[in-house]
Structure 1
Amino acid sequence: MGTYRDFWPAAVAGALLIGGCAAPGAGPSATGGSAESTSGKPLGADVSTAPLLPPALFPGEGEGFEAWRCAPANQHMVTAFGDETLKLWSLHGAWQLPQAVVASGARYQNGEISFWNRGDKAQVETPRGQLKCQLAHSRDARTRDNHPGVMFFAHGNEPGWTVELDNHEPLLTLSTDYGDTTETLPYMMSVMDNDAGRVVLENANAGRFFRVRIEAAACFDDMSGNPHPARVTLSIDGEQYSGCGEGIAP
């Protein structure tokens, strides 16, 4: 899996800091890599293979995800540790920090942004301030062994639903009503923004409308508290459902 481009725009660094929180739904500024439909024809309409998703939706080198509760700004973050890099998701976006040499603990730094952890405690520093974090949850990342042929998996609760994106074709398998109803539907990509880690998928069959919006950002299961690297919103049959998701590496 390719690595996510190292960047932390100064305009959004405050998303992790006291008094610098971005508005809900805001994320890193997209200066390039954005692809959206401009001709009224959704992207991917003529593509018979599944589109590649932004690397920010995947754990990268990491084998699991960690949830951190941070103070005093009441921020919550998700991390995935690789051998030499750290992927970091806040409520407002995703970043990658390379590892720096330190005497103790593990420090990851990208310019003036750093994440330093020792055991179940961590410290995040930026030019705008500092956060103290405590490890809250951790879990293994999903794998193709457990989800064969699936590139992205999302789920939500009350009522329970899941969405699986096929790794080979632009098809999604939608399960609703706690698994009582399952169907496979073709989709088209109407928005792809690699820099922001944002994707919007819509129905390829005009007979039934649905939309799946995926955004790279810290997401926590509202029942278990388990961490995920993406927020997912499913709209179908006039209803809207919210949940979490993650890319599944080969």
Structure 2
Amino acid sequence: MRVVPGLLAASLGLALAACQPPSSPAAGGDAAAPATPQPSAASGGGSQTTYQCGDLSVRATFNGEDAATVVIGDRTLAMTSERAASGAKYADRQGNGFWTQGSDDGLLSLKGEPDRECHAVQATEGDGSAGVAAFRATGNEPGWLAVVDGDTPGLQVEVDYGERRFDVAAPTAGADGWSGKAADGTDVKLSFQRTTCQDDMSGEAFEAKAMLTVGTRQYHGCGNFGAK
């Protein structure tokens, strides 16, 4: 596979947003205290873990053993602990819930939406400033790369072996991908299909098929969620 320059290196250094959600009040006394998940990072008064829950990037801050603050895009959900047969379960009064199962897995329940399985996302290696993409896709002939920022809105694209680059500052997220306009007005859309995809040059297996549309041209390839 021919390496795409520029963004291939830059994508490894996506900024991990240092947003600290406000602490939530602790729950009342009768609920059983669940085991606190092992976090990937700690910040301020709470331990924070980033999860990829289906198509959503989720930051959960666990405030002691009794409360959690779950941040999904511009939504902040303050939850308190509930009894659970295993793991740690949190919920709010609006019918939203987050249930951790071990240190790496979880389940996100948003009112009116299907449950989403969650997997903890580990920080990339390096100087500690790098983050993890919500979705990373690549393809061949001609080589292209697209990265969706895992913490703040942003879609970065390089096509034709890095000869052209497009940045979409605030893409619109849909059920099957992201779309928006680059700074020069070019329409950019990155869509995915959740089915096993094999790179046609390296043979590497990916979680999803991917299609990138830049203007009127389409590029096909494979992608992973929560990719480094």
Q: Work out whether the TM-score is over 0.5.
A: no
TM-score (norm 2): 0.40
Q: Which has the higher contact order (CA 8 A, sep 6+)?
A: 1
TM-score (norm 1): 0.38
